[in-house]
């Protein structure tokens, strides 16, 4: 991992700060949530107390549910045309009536022929609207010539008149379209006239399953109301009915449950934006509904259309993270206007306190229930729901702003760290490159080290390296001149010693003195050979600088050299292995080639056994030609294979009377460098052999 990556990794530690603040804001959200729960509970209790104090609760005579119809509130106008498009936004479910609902015994044939219908009921501005969809396999129209109130299929409603008597109003059609309600007037001379009332209007439209009726009428007083659909399958045939009352019983009537305007006015004053408060009577019928619900995005004041993609994604992620651990039940929709068994079970759970409930649109609400009681009598319930979004809007906005601020801060700090790390890594790499370009692989100082004037640690390192390179260069120069100095300084004294030894009369010495004199002569001779080796290495460097090159066919030269070396080393077999018959021209100095291979063959002979074979291999590869000298014997140590071509390196285990200063392979490398060739050594473990390879570039 480089310095830049390390600093970027350190920069990630800055994420601890937004994480800590995120946890803090989460704790703040929990506290706000608890506060909202307490407020929701107190508001529902306050609404229940206000309703109990301001209203006179008197339960009307309870009617069976089959004879009771609920009418919700309409928020839009209705055009009487017999079609259902005006009812598409109506929240409450339709109510179904079947032929068998109010029958004790049912004949199977009558059941098959009888009609059924579903109806929507709603109130708006003191009027009652009904949409009735009738399933009837045979629609029979009215025959006006018979002077009856209805002779075909009809819709009948019952309401109390101003005197309290029950009035039956009939709607019948001679053809699709609009009609007004008809009813019988007071008896006059034994006859009851058929009267009309334009306040009661209905429109019929045929459908594939039968017909649909859209009806408008004044809102019934005191909640007494009945609706029945009469089915006649053939003209003057028997009547069958489905609905809330039996047409044959004059006093039979049902009940209409509506939203109480007085209750709604109280609830409206207590409703805040986003809330919904509903009131149910003790029987479970909806009596009041103040609805100020709105989309969560509006409550949070977040408009996805104007937000960026980042804000939208973060907004949804934050909202999900804050609500992921909330266990929300199902909020009762109460589509039919009356609490069912499952809704009452939810009410029983809400009696223990505020709960999170979720509607069909996946919106979560604080939901609280309060009982409406007075004089120890239960009159109803108040169900208050407040959107979870109103409590989390502050938290979500804080987290979103926090993410933006800290995200920008982290990006800026990371960018600064990256730039700083890039600058540091650039300076370190430049320092490394200067060091590598200053000192060659063989330890030679090629150029002066450029020291830095920076006042930091990298500048100190640069100046330290400059001092080291300077001292190393001085020491290297000293070592390079040491050989010539030694050879120059020792040559004269050795000549004096050698001349003096030769001038001693050996005949006058005893045997012990003669042996000492002989050993002294051998030592002087060895010192002279050492001096010649040092002089040879020094002179070779000068020779290389002045050497001239020419194009040489290395293959022919190698075959000629093999004959020469075979004569020089008769106790070894010098063999050539070449698979290439073509010419291998290289630009080289013949004199230096001889010196190079003299050292290579001498080295191979020294490390091989007497009678062994030394192989000279030649291989050509596109623009290169490789010459290998291979001998069996002692393998090279792994830790010295790269250092063998440095000066003063020797790995001879057996010492003889010849001086070995480790300059042979060093001379080979000098000559190879002059020819732009590479030299390397490797062990051939399977054959217990060592191979030295020189790779020459072919001449163009």
pLDDT digits (tens, 9 = 90+) for 459-483: 888 888 788 878 877 777 776 666 6
Q: Look at residue 197 in the predicted model and tell me its pLDDT.
A: 93
Q: Look at residue 655 in the predicted model and tell me its pLDDT.
A: 46
Q: Residues 357, 359, 362, 364: is their CA dihedral positive or negative?
A: negative
Q: Of 206, 202, 184, whose CA–CA distance to 193 is shortest?
A: 184
What DSSP element (H or E) covers 614? Answer: strand 613-621
Could you tell me the mean pLDDT of each successive run of 10 residues in the chain, 700 residues long?
69 72 72 81 90 73 80 89 90 85 65 82 93 92 86 92 87 95 83 90 95 95 90 78 88 88 89 89 88 74 64 68 68 80 81 80 84 85 84 68 76 80 82 78 69 80 81 73 65 74 72 78 71 63 74 90 89 86 87 88 88 91 90 80 64 50 75 88 87 90
Task: Tell me what the pLDDT averaged over the chain comes to.
Answer: 81
Which domains does the chain possess?
13-57+267-399 (3.30.450), 68-253 (2.60.40), 457-541 (1.10.287), 547-697 (3.30.565.10)
Q: Look at residue 511 in the predicted model and tell me its pLDDT.
A: 76
Within 8 A by CB and 6+ apart from 466, the residues are 449, 450, 451
For 612-630, write each residue's pLDDT tens digit: 999 999 998 888 999 999 9
Output b/e per residue, 622-642; b: 16+ Cβ within 10 A.
Answer: eeebbbbbbbbebebeeeeee
Contact predicate 367/354, CB 8 Å: yes
Q: Cα-flanking dihedrals φ and ψ of residue 229, to 5°?
A: -110, 125
Q: Residues 448, 452, 456, 458: is their CA dihedral positive or negative?
A: negative
Q: Residues 646, 647, 649, 650: is their CA dihedral positive or negative?
A: positive
- Residue found under tokens 């001085």: 474
Q: Look at residue 467 in the predicted model and tell me its pLDDT.
A: 84
Rounded CA-CA distance 156/254 in Å is 12
Rounded CA-CA distance 111/100 in Å is 7
Rounded CA-CA distance 417/5 in Å is 10
Q: Look at residue 307 in the predicted model and tell me its pLDDT.
A: 66
Rounded CA-CA distance 51/335 in Å is 23
For 565-581, write each residue's pLDDT tens digit: 998 899 999 999 887 77
Rounded CA-CA distance 112/288 in Å is 40
CA distances, 245 to each of 102, 103, 113, 290 (Å): 8, 11, 19, 32
Q: Look at residue 129 in the predicted model and tell me its pLDDT.
A: 96
Q: Residues 655, 661, 667, 669: is their CA dihedral positive or negative?
A: positive
Q: Look at residue 670 in the predicted model and tell me its pLDDT.
A: 84
Q: Look at residue 485 in the predicted model and tell me its pLDDT.
A: 66
What DSSP element (H or E) covers 495? Answer: helix 457-503
Q: 3-state DSSP call for residue 13?
A: helix
Q: Residues 540, 541, 543, 549: is their CA dihedral positive or negative?
A: positive
Rounded CA-CA distance 195/184 in Å is 6
């Amino acid at each position: 991992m480089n310095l830049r990556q390390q600093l970027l990794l350190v920069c990630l530690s800055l994420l601890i700060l937004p994480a800590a603040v995120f946890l803090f804001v989460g704790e703040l959200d929990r506290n706000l949530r608890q506060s909202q729960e307490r407020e929701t509970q107190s508001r529902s209790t306050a609404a229940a107390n206000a309703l109990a104090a301001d209203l006179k609760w008197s339960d009307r005579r309870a009617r069976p549910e089959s004879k009771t119809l609920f009418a919700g509130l309409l928020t839009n106008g209705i055009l009487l045309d017999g079609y259902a498009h005006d009812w598409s936004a109506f929240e409450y479910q339709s109510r179904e009536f079947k032929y068998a609902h109010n029958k004790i015994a049912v004949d199977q044939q009558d059941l098959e022929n009888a009609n059924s219908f579903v109806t929507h009921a709603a109130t708006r501005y003191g009027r009652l609207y009904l949409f009735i969809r009738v399933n009837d396999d045979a629609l029979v129209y009215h025959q006006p010539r018979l002077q009856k109130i209805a002779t075909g299929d009809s819709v009948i409603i019952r309401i109390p008149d101003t005197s309290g008597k029950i009035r039956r109003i009939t709607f019948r059609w001679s053809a699709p379209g609009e009609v007004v309600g008809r009813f019988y007037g007071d008896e006059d001379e034994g006859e009851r006239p058929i009267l009309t009332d334009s306040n009661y209007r209905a429109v019929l439209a045929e459908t594939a399953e039968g017909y649909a009726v859209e009806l408008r009428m004044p809102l019934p007083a005191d909640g007494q109301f009945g609706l029945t659909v009469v089915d006649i399958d053939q003209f003057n045939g028997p009547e069958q009915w489905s609905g809330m009352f039996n047409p044959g019983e004059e006093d039979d009537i049902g009940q209409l449950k509506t939203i109480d305007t007085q209750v709604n006015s109280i609830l409206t004053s207590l409703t805040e934006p986003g809330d919904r408060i509903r009131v149910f009577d003790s029987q479970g019928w909806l009596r009041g509904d103040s609805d100020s619900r709105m989309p969560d995005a509006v409550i949070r004041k977040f408009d996805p259309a104007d937000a960026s993609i980042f804000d939208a994604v973060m907004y949804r992620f934050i909202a999900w993270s804050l609500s992921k651990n909330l266990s929300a039940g199902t909020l009762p929709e109460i589509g039919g206007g009356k609490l069912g068994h499952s809704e009452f079970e939810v009410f029983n759970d809400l009696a223990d306190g505020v709960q999170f409930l979720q509607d069909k649109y996946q919106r979560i609400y604080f939901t609280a229930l309060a009982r409406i009681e007075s004089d120890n009598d239960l009159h109803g319930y108040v169900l208050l729901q407040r959107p979870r979004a109103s409590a989390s809007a502050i938290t979500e906005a804080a987290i979103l702003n926090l993410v933006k601020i800290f995200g920008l801060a982290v990006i800026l700090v990371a960018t600064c760290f990256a730039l700083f790390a890039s600058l540091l890594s650039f300076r370190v790499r430049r320092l490394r490159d200067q060091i590598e370009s200053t000192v060659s692989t063989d330890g030679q100082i090629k150029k002066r080290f450029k020291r830095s004037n920076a006042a930091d640690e990298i500048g100190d390192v640069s100046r330290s390296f400059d001092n080291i390179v300077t001292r190393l260069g001085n020491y290297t120069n000293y070592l390079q001149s040491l050989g010539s100095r030694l050879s120059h300084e020792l040559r004269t004294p050795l000549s004096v010693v050698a001349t003096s030894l030769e001038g001693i009369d050996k005949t006058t010495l005893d045997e012990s003195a003669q042996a000492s004199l002989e050993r002294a002569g051998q030592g002087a001779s060895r010192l002279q050979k050492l001096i010649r080796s040092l002089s040879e290495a020094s002179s070779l460097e000068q020779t290389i600088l002045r050497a001239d090159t020419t194009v040489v066919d290395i293959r022919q030269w190698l075959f000629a050299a093999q004959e020469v070396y075979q004569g020089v080393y008769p106790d070894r077999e010098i063999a050539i292995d070449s698979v290439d018959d073509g010419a291998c021209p290289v630009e080289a100095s013949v004199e230096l080639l001889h010196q190079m291979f003299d050292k290579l063959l001498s080295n191979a002979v020294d490390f091989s056994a007497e009678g062994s074979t030394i192989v000279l291999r030649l291989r050509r590869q596109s623009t290169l030609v490789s010459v290998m000298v291979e001998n069996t014997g002692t393998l090279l140590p792994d830790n010295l294979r790269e250092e063998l071509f440095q000066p003063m390196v020797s790995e001879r285990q057996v010492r003889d009377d010849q001086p070995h200063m480790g300059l042979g392979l060093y001379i080979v490398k000098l000559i190879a460098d002059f020819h732009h060739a590479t030299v390397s050594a490797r062990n051939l473990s399977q054959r217990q052999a060592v191979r030295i390879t020189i790779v020459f570039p072919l001449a163009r």
